[in-house]
Protein backbone atom coordinates (compact mmCIF):
# COMPACT_ATOMS: atom_id res chain seq x y z
CA UNK A 1 0.00 0.00 0.00
CA UNK A 2 1.55 3.30 -1.07
CA UNK A 3 1.16 6.25 1.32
CA UNK A 4 1.21 9.90 0.31
CA UNK A 5 -0.01 12.96 2.17
CA UNK A 6 -1.26 16.50 1.92
CA UNK A 7 -0.29 18.93 4.65
CA UNK A 8 -0.82 22.61 5.18
CA UNK A 9 -2.41 25.23 7.35
CA UNK A 10 -6.16 25.34 7.97
CA UNK A 11 -7.91 27.02 5.06
CA UNK A 12 -5.16 26.25 2.56
CA UNK A 13 -7.30 23.94 0.42
CA UNK A 14 -6.15 20.47 1.50
CA UNK A 15 -9.65 18.98 1.45
CA UNK A 16 -10.52 20.59 -1.88
CA UNK A 17 -7.35 19.17 -3.42
CA UNK A 18 -7.93 15.78 -1.79
CA UNK A 19 -11.47 15.49 -3.16
CA UNK A 20 -10.17 16.44 -6.61
CA UNK A 21 -7.32 13.92 -6.47
CA UNK A 22 -9.40 10.89 -5.49
CA UNK A 23 -11.35 10.75 -8.80
CA UNK A 24 -8.07 11.24 -10.70
CA UNK A 25 -6.63 8.10 -9.11
CA UNK A 26 -9.87 6.11 -9.37
CA UNK A 27 -10.17 6.80 -13.11
CA UNK A 28 -6.62 5.43 -13.44
CA UNK A 29 -7.88 2.17 -11.92
CA UNK A 30 -6.43 2.59 -8.42
CA UNK A 31 -8.24 1.66 -5.24
CA UNK A 32 -7.83 4.61 -2.87
CA UNK A 33 -8.53 5.16 0.82
CA UNK A 34 -8.02 8.26 2.91
CA UNK A 35 -7.10 9.19 6.46
CA UNK A 36 -8.08 12.65 7.72
CA UNK A 37 -6.70 14.16 10.91
CA UNK A 38 -9.12 16.46 12.73
CA UNK A 39 -7.81 19.04 15.17
CA UNK A 40 -11.15 19.32 16.89
CA UNK A 41 -13.74 17.08 18.47
CA UNK A 42 -16.04 15.48 15.94
CA UNK A 43 -18.99 13.15 15.99
CA UNK A 44 -20.37 10.96 13.24
CA UNK A 45 -23.84 10.58 14.67
CA UNK A 46 -26.42 12.97 15.97
CA UNK A 47 -27.11 13.00 19.70
CA UNK A 48 -29.91 10.63 20.59
CA UNK A 49 -29.25 8.10 17.80
CA UNK A 50 -28.65 4.52 18.98
CA UNK A 51 -24.89 4.34 18.37
CA UNK A 52 -24.43 7.76 19.99
CA UNK A 53 -26.33 6.46 23.02
CA UNK A 54 -24.11 3.34 23.13
CA UNK A 55 -20.97 5.51 23.25
CA UNK A 56 -22.48 7.89 25.78
CA UNK A 57 -23.30 4.87 27.97
CA UNK A 58 -19.59 3.96 28.03
CA UNK A 59 -18.93 1.56 25.13
CA UNK A 60 -15.28 1.60 24.04
CA UNK A 61 -16.13 0.77 20.43
CA UNK A 62 -19.34 0.87 18.45
CA UNK A 63 -19.63 -0.80 15.06
CA UNK A 64 -22.50 0.44 12.89
CA UNK A 65 -23.57 -1.68 9.93
CA UNK A 66 -26.11 -1.11 7.18
CA UNK A 67 -26.71 -2.46 3.69
CA UNK A 68 -24.50 0.30 2.25
CA UNK A 69 -21.62 0.79 4.71
CA UNK A 70 -20.15 0.08 8.08
CA UNK A 71 -18.22 2.31 10.46
CA UNK A 72 -16.25 1.56 13.59
CA UNK A 73 -16.04 4.30 16.21
CA UNK A 74 -13.49 3.97 18.97
CA UNK A 75 -13.70 6.18 22.04
CA UNK A 76 -10.32 7.16 23.49
CA UNK A 77 -11.73 7.76 26.97
CA UNK A 78 -8.63 9.57 28.18
CA UNK A 79 -6.09 7.59 26.12
CA UNK A 80 -3.61 9.53 23.99
CA UNK A 81 -4.57 10.26 20.41
CA UNK A 82 -3.08 7.47 18.27
CA UNK A 83 -0.45 8.37 15.71
CA UNK A 84 -0.67 7.40 12.07
CA UNK A 85 1.61 4.37 12.61
CA UNK A 86 -0.86 2.96 15.14
CA UNK A 87 -3.78 3.49 12.77
CA UNK A 88 -2.26 1.98 9.61
CA UNK A 89 -2.85 -1.65 10.66
CA UNK A 90 -6.58 -0.86 10.87
CA UNK A 91 -6.76 0.23 7.22
CA UNK A 92 -7.73 -2.34 4.61
CA UNK A 93 -4.85 -2.45 2.11
CA UNK A 94 -5.47 -0.46 -1.09
CA UNK A 95 -3.28 0.77 -3.94
CA UNK A 96 -2.91 4.26 -2.45
CA UNK A 97 -3.62 5.68 0.98
CA UNK A 98 -3.94 9.47 0.91
CA UNK A 99 -3.34 11.18 4.24
CA UNK A 100 -4.75 14.63 4.97
CA UNK A 101 -3.08 16.26 7.93
CA UNK A 102 -0.63 14.40 10.17
CA UNK A 103 1.85 17.04 9.04
CA UNK A 104 4.55 15.84 11.44
CA UNK A 105 4.45 12.19 10.37
CA UNK A 106 7.34 10.78 8.35
CA UNK A 107 5.68 10.09 5.00
CA UNK A 108 6.10 11.94 1.69
CA UNK A 109 3.67 14.81 1.35
CA UNK A 110 2.74 17.79 -0.71
CA UNK A 111 2.37 21.04 1.16
CA UNK A 112 -0.76 22.93 0.14
CA UNK A 113 0.30 26.54 0.49
CA UNK A 114 -1.56 29.80 -0.08
CA UNK A 115 0.56 32.89 0.61
CA UNK A 116 -2.60 34.95 1.19
CA UNK A 117 -3.10 33.13 4.54
CA UNK A 118 0.02 34.84 5.89
CA UNK A 119 1.35 31.64 7.46
CA UNK A 120 4.94 30.44 7.08
CA UNK A 121 5.56 27.50 4.75
CA UNK A 122 6.05 24.07 6.33
CA UNK A 123 8.59 22.72 3.84
CA UNK A 124 11.72 24.32 5.30
CA UNK A 125 11.20 22.41 8.56
CA UNK A 126 9.82 19.16 7.15
CA UNK A 127 12.14 17.03 5.02
CA UNK A 128 9.15 14.86 4.02
CA UNK A 129 7.53 17.68 2.05
CA UNK A 130 8.55 16.73 -1.50
CA UNK A 131 6.58 19.40 -3.40
CA UNK A 132 4.35 22.41 -2.85
CA UNK A 133 0.94 22.91 -4.45
CA UNK A 134 0.00 26.57 -4.57
CA UNK A 135 -2.31 29.07 -6.21
CA UNK A 136 0.58 31.52 -6.60
CA UNK A 137 4.03 31.56 -8.16
CA UNK A 138 6.61 30.98 -5.42
CA UNK A 139 10.05 32.37 -6.17
CA UNK A 140 13.11 30.64 -4.78
CA UNK A 141 11.25 27.44 -3.96
CA UNK A 142 13.77 24.54 -3.78
CA UNK A 143 11.00 21.97 -4.44
CA UNK A 144 8.68 21.32 -7.36
CA UNK A 145 5.78 23.79 -7.39
CA UNK A 146 2.53 22.25 -8.58
CA UNK A 147 -0.56 24.19 -9.68
CA UNK A 148 -3.18 23.82 -6.97
CA UNK A 149 -5.99 24.07 -9.54
CA UNK A 150 -4.63 21.17 -11.65
CA UNK A 151 -5.38 17.93 -9.77
CA UNK A 152 -4.36 15.77 -12.77
CA UNK A 153 -0.87 17.30 -12.61
CA UNK A 154 -0.67 16.76 -8.85
CA UNK A 155 -1.89 13.16 -9.23
CA UNK A 156 0.74 12.48 -11.89
CA UNK A 157 3.44 13.86 -9.57
CA UNK A 158 2.30 11.58 -6.74
CA UNK A 159 2.22 8.51 -8.97
CA UNK A 160 5.67 9.23 -10.37
CA UNK A 161 7.27 10.03 -7.00
CA UNK A 162 9.72 7.20 -6.32
CA UNK A 163 10.01 7.93 -2.59
CA UNK A 164 6.43 6.88 -1.97
CA UNK A 165 6.76 4.17 0.69
CA UNK A 166 4.86 0.95 0.79
CA UNK A 167 3.38 -0.14 4.09
CA UNK A 168 2.15 -3.57 5.00
CA UNK A 169 1.88 -5.27 8.35
Q: Average pLDDT, stretch 133-159?
A: 95
Domain count, the chain: 1
Helices (H), 82-126: 84-87
Tens of pLDDT, residues 7-40: 999 999 999 999 999 999 999 999 999 999 887 6
Has residue 152 been placed in a domain? yes
Which pTM value belongs to this model? 0.87
Distance separating alpha carbons of residues 2 and 161, to the nearest angstrom: 11
Has residue 146 been placed in a domain? yes
Has residue 50 been placed in a domain? no
The whole-number pLDDT of residue 153 equals 97
Query: Which residues constitute the domain of residue 122?
Result: 2-40+84-160
Has residue 14 been placed in a domain? yes
Has residue 54 been placed in a domain? no
Tens of pLDDT, residues 103-139: 888 999 999 999 999 999 999 999 999 999 999 999 8
Q: Do 164 and 4 form a contact (C-beta atoms < 8 A)?
A: yes
Has residue 52 been placed in a domain? no
The whole-number pLDDT of residue 146 equals 97
Q: CATH number for the domain including 151?
A: 3.40.50.300
Tens of pLDDT, residues 43-78: 777 888 888 888 888 888 888 888 998 888 888 888
137 CB-side CA count, 13 A: 1
Amino acid sequence: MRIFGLAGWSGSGKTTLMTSLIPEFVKRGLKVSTVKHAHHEFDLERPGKDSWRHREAGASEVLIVSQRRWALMHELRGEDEPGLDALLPRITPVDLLLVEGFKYHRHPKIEVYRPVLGKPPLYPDDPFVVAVASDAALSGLPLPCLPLAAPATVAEFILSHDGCPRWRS
